[in-house]
Structure 1
Amino acid sequence: MPYLTGPVLPAGALARTPQPTLRTGDGLLLRPWTARDAPAVHEIFQDPVLRQWHVRAADSQEEVAGWIEEWRTAWKEERSAQWAVAEAAGDRLLGRVALREMRLDEGVAEVAYWTAAAARGRGVAARAATALAAWALDEIGFHRLELLHAVRNEASCRVAAKAGFALEGTKRSAALHADGWHDMHLHARVQGD
């Protein structure tokens, strides 16, 4: 039985071209990950604040190198799209921004991010998420981007609001972290917001 609607984004919408480098216009660069980023990512993941809100640990630089290779492969397979967030001048790694859980046929993806401790309080995550959302919605043609964070992570709630993601509700007991189950805020942006 045929579907009554076609895919929002066709297969190949991302993979047919190399992953782009995106600029925020205010000093940040969203660029594809490289193997040379592994030591910095490993160091960033030693931060207890990041570990509090993240479900993954980084035990070695070799493990992180595997993540980076997986992130690069995920672009080619259109499963997710991960960018390093760096200073445009000097290329110092400040964080990560990503489209996860991509469903091209539905035109939906989830935005995720983290920042290095030294980058917090500078608007890095909000600026990166804003640039990524503009690219995904306006240039690529995604229809809806969702953003989830633990309700207790107030800093992430501020990032979502600054990046234009409207709070839509709370998903109760929706994510398991090391300290137990967390209620999650669901934010979203859609084309035209």
Structure 2
Amino acid sequence: MLLTFPDPALAAAGIVLRQAEAGDAPWITAACSDRELSRYVPSIPYPYSESDARTFIDRAAEDWAQGRAALFVIAQATSGESLGAVALHPSPRDSEVAEVGYWLRREARGRGAATIAVRLVAGWAFGHLGIKRLGLQTHPENSASQRVAHRAGFTREGLLRAWMATPNGRRDSVMFSLLPEDDGGGIRP
């Protein structure tokens, strides 16, 4: 799948999605040093270093270039303040299926930014990439992330037992899905 950064950038309700840059390493390091974040997102190591952040930024650029994933920084449109990240991961087995994932800095949570970002990415995926099904997984205890999924229009499908491999063994995941025809099927650019 060819992934090119949307032009114009995806934006709505005071949120803009932009590409990660080298200068993002300090705030990403601070955000990902939050133990709660790494608890819910097993791909985030703990403790988290600036070297981890630089690797994350480099991998995001490679993923865009290779069509493996589309990672966006979630930012305030007016101030440019970086709030978190949202990513689209196309399935390597089915070009019409993708997963979305997101995280926010602790101080950015509870303001609706993740919901807007997920809806923007969903609209882009459905409208420009031909995606027919978006999946979203959360830790069973991550009620805040589950609220984001519901507010973004996703349907809870159920609990996938021992679904995700983590450094501490396999863990359950709550699976959600969104289809283009679903109510709330994204903000279309």
Please list the CA deviations of residues 17-39 of structure 1 after superposition, one character each: whole Å capped at 9, or x if unmatched: 4455210x211111111111011
1:50 corresponds to 2:34: no
Taking structure 1 as reference, are residues 105 and 176 closer, same or farther at Cα in structure 2, changes over 3 Å only?
closer
Please list the CA deviations of residues 117-172 of structure 1 after superposition, one character each: whole Å capped at 9, or x if unmatched: 00111111111101110111123221111001111111111110001111112111
1:111 corresponds to 2:111: no
Q: CA deviation at 1:190?
A: 1.3
The one-letter amino acid of 2:10's match is: L
Measure, in 2, the Cα distance between the counterparts of 1:104 and 1:76. 19
The one-letter amino acid of 2:157's match is: E
CA contact (8 A) 1:165 1:187 kept: yes
1:156 corresponds to 2:155: no
1:131 corresponds to 2:124: no
Q: Report the count of equivalent residues.
A: 179
Measure, in 1, the Cα distance between the counterparts of 2:179 and 2:34. 33
CA contact (8 A) 1:19 1:75 kept: no
Taking only aligned residues, the RMSD between alpha carbons, in angstroms, comes to: 1.8
CA contact (8 A) 1:171 1:183 kept: yes
Please list the CA deviations of residues 72-114 of structure 1 after superposition, one character each: whole Å capped at 9, or x if unmatched: 1101111111000011112111010001243485311110000
Q: Map 1:62-141; keep pairs closer than 5 Å.
A: 62-103=51-92, 105-141=94-130
The one-letter amino acid of 1:157's match is: Q
Measure, in 1, the Cα distance between the counterparts of 2:172 and 2:181. 28
Q: CA deviation at 1:46?
A: 1.2
Task: Specify the alignment match of 2:24 in structure 1.
Answer: 37
Measure, in 2, the Cα distance between the counterparts of 1:160 and 1:31. 21
Task: Specify the alignment match of 1:147 in structure 2.
Answer: 136
TM-score by length of 1: 0.85
CA contact (8 A) 1:80 1:102 kept: no
Larger gyration radius, structure 1 or structure 2: 1
Structure 1 unaligned blocks of 5 or more: 1-10
Taking structure 1 as reference, are residues 152 and 181 closer, same or farther at Cα in structure 2, changes over 3 Å only?
farther
